[in-house]
Amino acid sequence: MRQIRTVPIVSKGESMSLPKLLPQKLKIGDTIGVVAPSSPIIGDNIDELNRAKEIVERSGFKVKYSKNLFSNTNGYSSTAKEKADDINEMFTDKEVKMIWCAKGGNNSNSTFEYLDYELIKKNPKIICGYSDITSITNMITEKTGLVTFSGTNFKTIATDETDFSYKQALSRFVDGSLEIGPENEKYITIQEGKAEGELIGGNLTLIRGMVAGKYSIDFTDKILFLEELGFESEPAMVSNNLYYMKQNGVFDKIKGLWIGNYEHESGISLEKIIMDALEGKYKFPIIKSNNFGHTEIKTVIPIGAKVEINKKVHLGTFLKRTKCPFGTCP
């Protein structure tokens, strides 16, 4: 099977066009704000979060905790408004240059009606997280045009077996690179083809939850990336989510599919479940890699960035858009 890569779209004879809203890149000494829009920070999570704070501070950054970071008002989380208020306040806080979500879990979608999307548009910043944070990053991109990031959560900095995901995230945010690596990561072609479009996606269960309703996202002409947590999602449940998406026209709209990590004790792969659900009815390109999702190696993926899937290229990587894609070059 061939390896392929995704690269930023460059029309022949034209320069690369940037998305409407790009956050400023980080500098050493900047303040990173930490929020908890998903499950509560309780028990061992508190020590893990504080250890992550120490690691980030040793890297030369300041860390600021949100007001409700350790709130557990409902007994299973802080309230939806408390979570959203923390995010809104971090976007308006002039001291904070990046917002890093503490952890995943459940219920980040409860913030949707309380997030101030106009405020966010006026104060674009890096916001990063994965798993349950999929809901927030994709909704912010949908409502504001701001490029958000699927990448390691803040707490995970202290619990990963290696520091790859943390260093990869900081490297991206400080250098301002949209490159997705490592360059030697294998990208396998599941279904050949070439496509261009904006990236959306993340955790399959959360993306399924944004297919329809008041807070849905537009899948038209997008490159969709999907991963799933194996020990919580049985293959039959994964299939159920995929069929729901299929029956609601998602796969009629997208232009390409990028499959990430899924490890289930049955050994059944995510690509098999997806191909079973698609039933050979769709011709868009499909690629597979193991460098995002619930895995030790978590590449940072820019949601809303334009990319190309091209089977003719062998190494899997996003190339840099410009030397300084996040705002003004130094």
User: What is the length of the chain?
Assistant: 330
Q: Is the pLDDT of residue 17 over 50?
A: no
Q: Is the pLDDT of residue 136 over 80?
A: yes
Q: Is the pLDDT of residue 140 over 90?
A: yes
| Segment 204-220, tens digit of pLDDT | 999 999 999 999 999 99
Q: Domain coordinates of the chain in residue numbers?
A: 5-14+180-310, 31-175
| Model pTM score | 0.87
Sign of torsion over alpha carbons 315, 292, 228, 296: positive
Q: What is the DSSP letter of 190?
A: E
Point out which residues pair with 309 in neighbouring strands. 6, 195
Q: What is the pLDDT of residue 157?
A: 87
Point out which residues pair with 196 in neighbouring strands. 308
Mean pLDDT for the chain overall: 83
| Segment 81-110, tens digit of pLDDT | 999 999 999 999 999 999 999 988 888 999
For residues 244-275, one letter each, b for 16 or more C-beta atoms within 10 angstroms of the residue's C-beta and e for the rest, the string is ebbeeebbeebbbbbbbbbebeeebebbebbb
Q: 31-175 has which CATH code?
A: 3.40.50.10740
Mean pLDDT of 125-152: 94
* Calpha distance 260→273 (Å, rounded): 13
* Calpha distance 218→227 (Å, rounded): 19
Superfamily of domain 5-14+180-310: LD-carboxypeptidase A C-terminal domain-like (3.50.30.60)
Which of 49, 101, 108, 130 lies closest to 294 in space, CA to CA?
A: 130
Q: Which has the minimum average pLDDT: 26-35, 203-212, 312-321?
A: 312-321
